[in-house]
Amino acid sequence: MSLREQKKLAAWRAIRAAALRLFDERGYEAVSVEQIAAAANVSRATFFNYFASKEAVVFDQDPQERDNWRALMDARPAGEPLWASLTAIMVGFNERLADRMPLQRRLKAQSPALAQSTQDFGEQFRTDLRDWVASRTGGADPTAATLQLNLALAATATAYQTWPAEESFDQYLRRLRRCLDQAGAGPATIRD
């Protein structure tokens, strides 16, 4: 990474860190773009060079995040069963969100604007994961591979949707592992 790219990444992260800190302290609705820019020691124009909106500060992925999840995918052994790989990748991906997922969740619960947001920070991850599954399975039984992928994504969504507000992020990760284990074992093993 060139010095210029490093400086841009540092600025992106500084703006995001300032915004998330302000949102956590004051609430999403009470913080303006101008306040974020001032806290990050940048101009309003500079803010918009890095983020399209205040909402984007909450949901945009770190510019290096894609490299991180691709590394998770590349780290899976070639002979490992697909479900074991998907489970490890989904848990690893979620573990990397520990610094922001709880705050994003709280902000969405507190803010009508964010609650209605259609922005999805995970779409690129899902696309890359689909491509990884296709390359991993080499086209052999694409129905089974797609089913496993969709089950892993559904288990992850279920863990998030059923995560009680009073539970910690570590408890969420345990819930995620349980959902993935149950999905991997098959619907007949799922109990109330």
Each domain of the chain, given as residue ranges in start order, spans 3-59, 65-186
The DSSP 8-state label assigned to residue 88 in this structure reads H
User: How confident is the model at residue 121, as a pLDDT?
Assistant: 59
State in words which class domain 3-59 has.
mainly alpha
Second CATH level (architecture) for the domain 65-186 = Orthogonal Bundle (1.10)
State the pLDDT at residue 106: 85
How many CB atoms sit inside 10 A of residue 51's CB? 20
Euclidean distance between CA atoms 34 and 47, whole angstroms: 9
pLDDT at 122: 74
Q: What is the pLDDT of residue 187?
A: 67
Q: What is the pLDDT of residue 141?
A: 82
The predicted pLDDT at position 153 comes to 94
Q: End-to-end CA distance of the chain: give it in Å, rounded.
A: 50
CB within 8 Å of 60: residues ≥ 6 apart:
16, 51, 121
> Encoding tokens for residue 104?
């994003």
Per-residue pLDDT of the chain (192 residues; tens, 9 = 90+): 799 999 999 999 999 999 999 998 998 989 999 999 999 999 999 999 999 999 899 888 888 888 999 999 999 999 999 999 999 999 999 998 888 888 888 888 888 777 776 556 578 888 999 999 999 988 778 888 999 999 999 999 999 999 998 899 999 999 999 999 999 988 666 555
Q: So what's the pLDDT on residue 169?
A: 94
Q: Please give the Cα distance from 192 to 187 (Å, whole number).
A: 12
Residue owning tokens 């800190």: 21
- Write down the pLDDT at residue 104: 83
Contact 20, 106 (CB under 8 A): no
186 exposed, middle or buried (CB, 10 Å; 0-12, 13-18, 19+)? Answer: exposed
CA distance 35 to 22: 8
| pLDDT reported for residue 191 | 59
Model pLDDT, residue 64: 87
For residues 46 and 14, the answer to whether their CB atoms sit within 8 Å is no
